[in-house]
Structure 1
Amino acid sequence: MKKILLRYFPFLYKLRVQQLILMRHLMNLNPKIKYARGRKPDEFDFVCKKHKSVLRRVLANSDPILQENKIKNIKIALEHIDGIVINPGETFSFWKRIGKTTKAKGYIEGLMLSNGAVRTGTGGGLCQLANMLFWLALHTPLEIKERHHHSFDIFPDDRRVVPFGTGTSVFYNYVDLQFYNPTNYTFQFNIYLSDEFLEGTIVCNAELEFIYKVEEKNHQFYQKENRWYRGNEIWRMEISKYNNQLVNEELIIKNNSEVKYMKSNE
């Protein structure tokens, strides 16, 4: 019923979005939450995780110029993300750092995912930056305070090097990505663009006692009511650096997403 109403009365969707944006603004005024704001020009010495992701992927039926636009959008957003420090007791918020992606700030049309479909919008493409931050944070003791997943698997894997389902959805400002630092350590994101990749590192001000690994379990494609779905589980392993023993494992994500592309029988 809700989808039918929105289809025939699209203004209701816009009103709902504005309501959710206002509600998030009010939530952000909570004085008990200390948001990460500081940035340091110099990196810390202890590397927790490095990663890079391909900037230009093979996406069927999409205009290649939109991927170039995405890169420009990411470059603008990085001015607010690169070098950000998360001190003990602080919360990192994707949208608190970046703000609204407007044309006045230089953002242009890029690819966006909405309701299981690909569309374009100002500032589109920032999901790749959010994905990078999320993957790096998973390899630290940072707590995932807020993370949203795509309910659809839109594109087949193209040079994927991380498990399916470790991406994240962001939409200003109420679909956010947030991490909380419950430790006595200070962490820093260092993210930059090279010719072919978005590259990132998360570093710490001291050496951690543990190594954090992310593993996929129970990956499968399955059919339900004449539709294909893809599911898996994402686990975070905490391993002692001193004896290489598993100290703790935590189920982070359980994915079940409808597949929107033609699935191979192989």
Structure 2
Amino acid sequence: MVSLKPIRRSKLRILIGKKVYRLKRYSEWLFDGKKYAQKRLDEKLPYCIKKHRTPLLRRLKDVDMQLQRNKIKNLQLAAKRLHHIVIEPGETFSYWRLIGSTTKRKGYVDGMILHYGKVTVGTGGGLCQLSNLIYWITVHTPLTVTERYRHSYDVFPDSNRSQPFGSGATCAYNYLDLQIKNETHTPYQLMIYLTDTHLNGEWRSIAPATRTYEIYEKEHHFTRELWGGYIRHNLIFRKVFDAEGNQVDDEFVTENHAITMYEPFLTYEGDGK
């Protein structure tokens, strides 16, 4: 059983840690031997393998709606960097290598950031919605997630949740990356775009899907820890079906453990996630 507890670090320790991990990532991008996806194809590949959308605005408890509106601006900028990207066989998609740093000079604005379980404000905030979406559609394809980080804190209680807890991917430039490798024999194209109300994502390919996937969770539960808080746990699996709809496999995807920032056995209304 995994046991977590809140981490308290000084601002200096956090600053130094970020610089060290960012330098490490820059070095990896240069020398790790991976072939990173960077080609864009303006025309859409013919077959949609998986698509999903998430609402741009949600009412979150004690969160200023202006941060949600700012998030839309940040998502628009980041989406342009990822839209139409093609992952050829053998290539690796790197979320942050394609988006780059989220600075004010590039037009990014203050948005919501979850930092050690607290809602804070930072330039470029809100892009976890984008990494969550890309991760979710990817686990519905034959593409291989080679690097993904789970959220260490579960900040908001569930409200109308349509996906299992822990089915997203947190991100922080550039050391908490989302990387996806194409180990198939066909190219895949990522489509990311915004409408007035939703963030939309699609994986497309040159051939129709021969497998479909159903994501589900096991062993979802909370544990009360000796330090007084709660930890939320689950396992994510996916059922694999062939083109005729027959189940051919049941695969482990990932496990999640997160410190809850709310009382898990109370009823909440009006909160979103």
Secondary structure at the counterpart of residue 31 of structure 2: coil
Distance in 2 separating the partners of 1:54 and 1:160: 12
1:222 deviates by 3.4
Is the deviation greater in 86-95 or in 250-259? Answer: 250-259
1:144 aligns with 2:145: yes
- Residues 57 and 158 of structure 1 are in contact (CA less than 8 Å); yes or no, is this contact kept in structure 2? no
The aligned residue for residue 174 of structure 2 is 173
Secondary structure at the counterpart of residue 77 of structure 1: helix
Secondary structure at the counterpart of residue 236 of structure 1: strand
Length-normalised TM-score, structure 2: 0.90
1:30 aligns with 2:31: yes
1:231 aligns with 2:233: yes
1:112 aligns with 2:113: yes
Which amino acid is 2:69 matched to? E
Which amino acid is 1:241 matched to? A
1:247 deviates by 2.0
- Residues 70 and 124 of structure 1 are in contact (CA less than 8 Å); yes or no, is this contact kept in structure 2? yes
* % identity of equivalent residues: 39
How do residues 179-190 of structure 1 correspond to structure 2 at under 5 angstroms? Answer: 179-190=180-191
Distance in 2 separating the partners of 1:203 and 1:123: 27
1:76 deviates by 0.5
Length-normalised TM-score, structure 1: 0.93
The aligned residue for residue 127 of structure 2 is 126
- Residues 37 and 94 of structure 2 are in contact (CA less than 8 Å); yes or no, is this contact kept in structure 1? yes
Aligned pair count reads 261
Which amino acid is 1:112 matched to? I
**Structure with the larger RCO, 1 or 2 (CA within 8 Å, 6+ apart):** 2
Distance in 1 separating the partners of 2:250 and 2:182: 18
Secondary structure at the counterpart of residue 65 of structure 1: helix
- Counterparts in 2 of 1:31 and 1:154: CA distance versus 1, 3 Å: closer
Secondary structure at the counterpart of residue 239 of structure 2: strand
1:97 deviates by 0.5
1:264 deviates by 4.1
Is the deviation greater in 103-112 or in 36-45? Answer: 36-45
The aligned residue for residue 48 of structure 1 is 49
- Residues 91 and 178 of structure 1 are in contact (CA less than 8 Å); yes or no, is this contact kept in structure 2? yes
Secondary structure at the counterpart of residue 28 of structure 1: helix
Instruction: Give the superposed CA RMSD.
Output: 1.7
1:194 deviates by 1.4
Is the deviation greater in 46-55 or in 175-184? Answer: 46-55
1:150 deviates by 0.8
